[in-house]
Chain A
């Protein structure tokens, strides 16, 4: 008989005006992987933070193995055998793996720290769950996937029975994801119970035994995962209606002229280290070049260099044949280079400002919106109304503050601004990250449409599905270098190895093709 590890009943949590969890019930069976599925803002993380003692709910009860418990703090949660791995790792870079795990666990040990003993225990634990870890390496020497493994190990060290993982695959490559899932299986076979928060349907089908779907803070259903469950079932539960998941791009690049050309570009990151190492590529008018790669391999620096926001150390950037190396961001904007930045909350939008103002931050000085230095309020307003209509931005009006919009609508505000006036080049960095499925599809459609109108697009994304779906050609970046440029519709199996740094054999031929 299956026993129940955790039961949460009628959990209610309110933030400001909104109920993040509205009488949510959740049951985790012992020895299973339970997917917690929902769009961003559906209340998944909130629910798990309550279980982990980070938030105090306004109402509801938690039962552990049938007994009612009161979890006021993470400390209490850990003592009850509940551990959580957050989306952002809590590791100290300058320390070794052993030292980090010691730091998280020394309290219950003796006063004198015995590093060698710890090291042995770390190794034992890693071996038990078949996790490859070097206990003497420093955190910064480990890849993101390895760091996550260390984080999980550190949590397991606390003798927990229930492991909560918040979007564990968001930062992993496909093969690292597979490895993680193998580890999770090992843990479950050992009798542990796992909650995996995610918004990716594939992962649920691949690894979960059961799934609970949240929508708008409410539990909309729980299902056992078997062969009869399809992606479509889950997505309609998640968003409340059916949606076409297969965006068939009929897009064909027809242009001949090269709109954006990068030659031997070398750029440094904020720490002064080489972020881009002599990379070269061309994008034709009307072409979408997808740039695949794990986060942090130079994508951000590339986008900034291509929009005049980061100095170029060596190499050249040509926009429509003109040398733009060393020009500033204004020059790039004037040349029709649009930019959807990765960090929309800090860079792309003024959150405390209304939609109308956000739509004109690049253009308010032009004759369209000001005359003799004074802003033309009516024109700004009517422009905003037009954009809200055209891009289907869901808001109470042009005066709505951007911070009150959902992630998808915020992104639409940026796209409305950047795609208005037919840019010659669009640099889009993670345009659909953190955006719900419906908005994701709309954003991809908008990008395809702009390329149909002749815009050259550089689409940077860590989401391979997205890259494959819309790109005419696919470049893969690793450690600041282009590993190869593949034709569109290449498979994950072809792209995956390049994302891990395996250079393509025929790199030179394809790059120039």
Chain B
């Protein structure tokens, strides 16, 4: 019994690694079918991901938003609130923070404080809508957050084709660019990676502390059901709403990072599919901050390395999508496989 528990706690840490390795091995099969050498391909990928400072900088550019969003998603997920609307929350956060930069004249340093706060508020309010619908009408948050993604996409389209479109631009779906004084500073000459890395580290530490605080305990408690939450003297409805808001706030913060550190303006397509990737990372990282750190690194490296691979070899970029897909399939089938293995083990004990 004791041994079993020990084994299971170790295995949780290794689950992420096992899934990654299994996905890469299965991916190797696909590469082999395509008539290429898997070893060479992965070599090129690794080189392409980590081969130079600028490559690492590219990984960071992907990893920062993905990790922060996944940390946000994990807050909702641990409360068993299936918030899959990270992308919509990020888009709204991008819009609200861009409004600050474009239309509110402030001192640059004040901008650097107000804009991210606006981004977080935008994301939080967007997520709150789904939380409120859940509390008030018992509406399933999977549906509402997904629908709100579309609403956010069209809101963004309206903004960049309408009131926020760059005056005198060539009718591109984008806003004017942010003043240089309020952009996030690159960490080195010629590198795209910027000070948002420190924001990400800060968020990671805060979230680690969050799960050790009584607020994190409350979120975990909610994850065990609304009945026990009420029984413990908390208001489950209120907890649902602030948990969703907290989750959305982090995605909103990513909206700010993308506007002020990557694109330097609001533009259509700023979401870039980050929402879905954040969900994959959250699940791959088993909803723990450290797990999410590694999972977001893996996915980012895969994206960057894959792009290089496509340029250097005959293997198409879709192998990256295949590996991502394999990760998802493995994540979903993992509990079933584990159960089968356990059942077989148990049978071995009793049949003899």
Contact residues of A with B, CB < 8 Å?
A: 12, 14, 16-19, 22, 58-59, 309, 328-330, 332-334, 339, 341, 343, 346-353, 357, 361-362, 364-365, 370, 373-375, 377, 396-397, 399-400
Contacts and interface: CB of A to CB of B under 8 A. Distances in A.
Contact of B1 (A334, A351, A352, A396): A396
Nearest to B343: A16
B213 interface: yes
Nearest to A19: B350
Nearest to B235: A328
Contact of B234 (A59, A330, A370): A330
Nearest to B9: A399
Contacts, number: 81
Contacts of B213: 370, 373-375
12 contacts: A17-B346, A58-B350, A58-B351, A329-B233, A347-B227, A353-B220, A361-B231, A364-B214, A365-B214, A374-B209, A375-B212, A396-B5
B233 A346 contact: no
Contact of B228 (A334, A349, A375): A349
Interface of B: 1-2, 5, 209, 212-215, 217, 220-221, 224-225, 227-228, 230-235, 342-343, 346-347, 349-351
Contacts of A352: 224
B224 A353 contact: yes
Contact of B212 (A309, A350, A374): A374
A375 B214 contact: yes
Top 8 closest pairs, chain A to chain B, by CB: A350-B224, A330-B233, A361-B232, A333-B233, A17-B346, A347-B227, A373-B213, A329-B233
B231 A370 contact: no
A16 B350 contact: no
B349 A309 contact: no
Contact of A346 (B209, B225, B234): B225
Contact of B346 (A14, A328, A347, A400): A14
B221 A16 contact: no
Nearest to A341: B231
B347 A309 contact: no
A304 B212 CA distance: 31
Given A334-B233, A375-B213, A396-B2, 17 more contacts: A14-B347, A14-B350, A16-B342, A16-B346, A329-B232, A333-B233, A341-B231, A346-B225, A350-B228, A351-B224, A361-B228, A362-B232, A373-B213, A374-B209, A396-B5, A397-B2, A399-B5
Contacts of A399: 5
Contacts of B221: 350, 361
A362 B5 contact: no
B349 A348 contact: no
Contacts of A347: 227-228, 231
A307 B117 CA distance: 40
Contacts of A364: 214, 217
A329 B346 contact: no
A139 B63 CA distance: 60
Given A328-B235, A350-B225, A396-B1, A309 B230 contact: yes
B75 to A, nearest CB: 16
Contacts of A374: 209, 212-214
Contacts of B350: 12, 14, 19, 22, 58
Interface centre among A328, A350, A370 (most CB of B within 10 A): A350
A17 to B, nearest CB: 5
A375 B217 contact: yes
B230 to A, nearest CB: 6
B231 A309 contact: yes
A361 B2 CA distance: 25
A90 B305 CA distance: 58
Given A14-B346, A14-B347, A14-B350, A373 B228 contact: no
Contacts of B349: 17
